[in-house]
Amino acid sequence: MVYPGLSTKIDRVNHESASSEISSDIEKSLLRSIARSQEIEEEIATDPSKFRILTGDRPTGRLHLGHYLGTLDNRVRLQDAGVETWVIIADYQVIMDRDEAGHLSQRVLDLVADYLAVGIDPSRSTIFTHSAIPALNQLMLPFLSMITDSELRRNPTVKAEHEATGGRPMSGLLFTYPVHQAADILFCKANLVPVGKDQLPHLETSRVIARRFNDKYDAIFPLPEALLSTTANVLGIDGEKMSKSRGNTIELAMDEDETAKQLRRAVTDSDRVITFDPVNRPEVANLLQIAASCTGRKPEDIAADIGDGGGAKLKAVVTEAVNERLRPIRAKRSELVSDRSFLASVLAQGNAKANNVAEETLDQVRQAMDMNYQG
């Protein structure tokens, strides 16, 4: 898989290194991750059995088009390529920055329905909930001893999540969020984690914990690597980050009329001639990118077809592209949500497998730490 703009990024890094050593180091680190991701994609094409992926979501609400284009479709691609895939529903993480979890059981089963509808196959991928795996959570204690409070405070995602709470006191669960994520990754010995570049610091925390444990006790854990997403970032219909709280999403559970209504509200601009210009026309470019992601075409070509049709034609084209792409997914999802017992059975199957693996890993950890007192 080709990572667009790699040579341009390298040129920019070489230019910036003269003026900002710190920013250059960050950019170079990102470039190393991009280059390694390209190598991993080549290795997957040759021998997918070398990798075990851990990925997942917090059940905070319905999944939307941004989730599908950004992560879900890629999970299916990797699963179908033969990579062993583990998908965690991180239900404990819902309470880390909220007063109450809401209708959590309903949201968890809805998430399972979304996974199955997009093509995640429970016979090839393990779907499980964080709270149902006690041994996974027991790994938190030794892992916490591997990291300092200052390292946690510096984690950019912890900072961002705390800022999103409106300045309320940080809970211990939120503060230790990167360690929870490390336990999620390491309990099943995943060696590959699909992430966006903003999630790299979290993964580095997992690598640090694994490395320190291996050095202090025994080499139990692999050092998980990042598989950076190549999908263009999809914004909401208002041109801002797609978010349930903003009401700017296109949910997978919406019907076609609801999708059309939502897209009619999309922000464009006053220029009737549609062009793909992410810098000067970000809202128009975002809609073109959505249509491109749904159809496999280039956004420039879609813009050329629309020509001087203006925002109305652009929205019509995007609506058709989205509805066409999601039509089979929505049909399957509609069948799935009517059979809650089946969804629960899929989850029970995944939880059972995850529990077996977690118990094995915890036993290895106890042996390494000389904490097995069974004789």
| 91, 129 contact by CB (below 8 A) | yes
| C-alpha separations of 183 from 6, 130, 134, 207, 211 in Å | 32, 10, 11, 11, 13
Per-domain boundaries in the chain: 1-46, 49-234+345-368, 254-337
Mean pLDDT of 38-64: 95
| C-alpha separations of 169 from 153, 161, 173, 175 in Å | 14, 12, 11, 10
Residue 97's pLDDT band (boundaries 50, 70, 90)? low
Q: What is the pLDDT of residue 99?
A: 57
Q: What is the pLDDT of residue 18?
A: 44
Query: What CATH number has the domain spanning 49-234+345-368?
Result: 3.40.50.620
Query: What CATH number has the domain spanning 254-337?
Result: 1.10.240.10
Q: What is the pLDDT of residue 21?
A: 56
pLDDT at 117 over 90: yes
| 299, 285 contact by CB (below 8 A) | yes
Residue 258's pLDDT band (boundaries 50, 70, 90)? very high
Which range, 134-143, 167-176, 200-209, has the best average confidence (pLDDT)? 134-143
Q: What is the pLDDT of residue 101?
A: 57
Helix or strand run (H / E) with residue 102: none
Structure tokens at 90: 């991180």
Q: What is the pLDDT of residue 154?
A: 87
| 101, 58 contact by CB (below 8 A) | no
